[in-house]
């Protein structure tokens, strides 16, 4: 009887461990970079800005048709940054605030450090001919033909850990007005 209880206990432990292992396994999120000839991401030069946007790309999720702009930001100031806002403007109209997860125990971006807008564990895979064929029905021709869109990225505001801030919303508003006037309509 004692041996049967020990065996039963060991089986329950093994099931718990294997069950936990299955619960912890997450589906890997994969993106493919949309060629710059189709969607161009432009980084707006902002002299005096404490953040520099770098390494940007327009990505398409391979297993769930959606897009995202990937970028990295570097703190080029001498002070830790507590939060910031990066905006995206498009020649197709529209604007959005792009998310970034601050990391570290104190959630600060220290001078010289870089943070990536993509969450950990995301993979960027190459656009092979096989993948292009697989995605063809879900992309509305995104990977073919002439340029479809230009997206502009810029820093709207930065809040430092000491409470001071940087704002450049005038440039964002001016870009919005320009795009609306020249591309998207007649009245802002």
Residue 50 CA to residue 81 CA, distance in Å, equals 9
> Distance from first CA to last CA of the chain, Å, rounded?
82
Q: How far apart are the C-alpha atoms of 68 and 35, rounded to whole Å?
A: 14
CB 62 within 8 A of CB 28: no
pLDDT for position 130: 83
Dist. CA 81–CA 60, nearest whole Å:
30
Task: Give 51: exposed, middle or buried? Use CB within 10 Å, 0-12, 13-18, 19+.
Answer: buried
pLDDT score, position 144: 76
At 159 the pLDDT is 93
**In this structure, how many other beta carbons lie within 10 angstroms of the beta carbon of residue 81?**
24
Instruction: State residue 173's pLDDT score.
Output: 86
The pLDDT, as a whole number, for residue 29 is: 85
From first to last of the 188 residues of the chain, give the pLDDT tens digit: 555 434 444 444 444 444 444 444 567 888 989 889 989 999 999 999 999 999 899 998 888 778 889 999 999 999 999 999 898 988 887 777 776 766 556 789 999 999 988 887 788 888 888 887 777 766 666 777 788 889 999 998 999 999 999 998 888 888 888 888 887 654 43
Whole-prediction pTM: 0.75
Domain ranges of the chain: 26-184
């Amino acid at each position: 009887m004692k041996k049967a209880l020990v065996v039963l206990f060991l089986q329950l432990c093994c099931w718990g461990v294997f069950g936990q292992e299955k619960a912890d396994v997450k589906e890997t999120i994969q993106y493919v970079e949309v060629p710059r000839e189709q969607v161009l991401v432009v980084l707006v030069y902002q002299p005096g800005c404490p953040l520099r946007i770098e390494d940007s790309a327009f990505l398409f999720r391979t297993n769930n048709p959606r897009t995202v702009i990937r970028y990295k930001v570097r703190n080029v100031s001498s002070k830790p940054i507590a939060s910031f806002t990066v905006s995206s403007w498009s020649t197709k109209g529209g604007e959005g605030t792009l998310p970034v997860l601050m990391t570290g125990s104190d959630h600060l971006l220290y001078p010289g450090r870089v943070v990536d807008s993509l969450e950990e564990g995301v993979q960027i895979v190459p656009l092979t001919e096989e993948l292009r064929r697989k995605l063809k029905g879900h992309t509305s021709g995104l990977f073919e033909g002439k340029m479809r869109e230009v997206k502009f990225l810029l820093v709207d505001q930065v809040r430092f850990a000491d409470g001071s801030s940087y704002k450049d919303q005038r440039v964002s508003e001016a870009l919005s007005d320009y795009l609306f006037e020249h591309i998207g309509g007649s009245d802002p």
